[in-house]
Amino acid sequence: MKVTTDGCLFGALQPQFPEEGKGKKIMDIGTGTGLLSLMTAQLNPKAQITAIEIEPATAREAFETFSASPFKEQIEVVEEDILVYNAGSLFHLIICNPPFYEWQLKSPDKNRNKAHHSTTLQLNQLFALVTNWLEEEGILTLLLPFYREEEALKLGLEHGLFCEKIIRVRQTPRHEFFRIILYLGKQPATKMMEEITIRNENNAYTPAFQDLLRPFYLNI
């Protein structure tokens, strides 16, 4: 699985907790290559992260990546189907870049389907699980296609999850929004709206994008 620009942006925008995340518990649902867990660990060096991955080969790859990183003591890989996983504790932050393409044309490759389609986890199921696992003051962050914004907000409210912030993302000023980053919690909140453009008219990264990714990139 490749590392995507919007995935990197999502990782850079994860919450940072006071005292560098001391004592905080974080869950990464569908960790894949482990990018989000690594970036979140860098932002919160005292937090403990549980990285869940259903696909055995991908879970092994994530484990090897974490083991070779400075954050190996922070991150635990769990090879498990999130639908049957027993969390055993509550989390201060749950992050998820879920399957994008519910009910759309699927690939014959089963592993690719798991990565890109809601064959194993649908948004409605995700919200039901998160409601049980999230601290009362905790946050769920989601990266979704822009067209799912209204659906996600509606489903979130049905499960008692209120939108604290939406960040809409577009590739360039000429493009329409193509991704949203949602911050949801159990407490009623006044919704904040932000926008991020990845590249400018000359196809160079915008200053806002550069500032967000500079702590994670060697050169940007």
Please state the domain extents for the chain: 5-213
**pLDDT, tens digit (0-9, with 9 covering 90-100), for 49-107:** 999 999 999 999 999 999 999 999 999 999 999 999 998 899 999 999 986 544 334 44
Backbone conformation region of residue 165, classed left if phi is above 0, alpha if psi is from -120 to 50, else beta:
beta
**pLDDT, tens digit (0-9, with 9 covering 90-100), for 154-176:** 999 999 999 999 999 999 999 99
CATH 2.60.40.1930 at 5-213, yes or no? no
Sheet with 192-197: list strands edge to edge.
75-79, 48-53, 25-29, 91-96, 134-145, 177-185, 162-170, 192-197
Q: Which residue in 81, 73, 75 sits closest to 35, CA to CA?
A: 75
C-alpha span between 144 and 190 (Å, rounded): 21
Q: Is the pTM of this model over 0.85?
A: yes
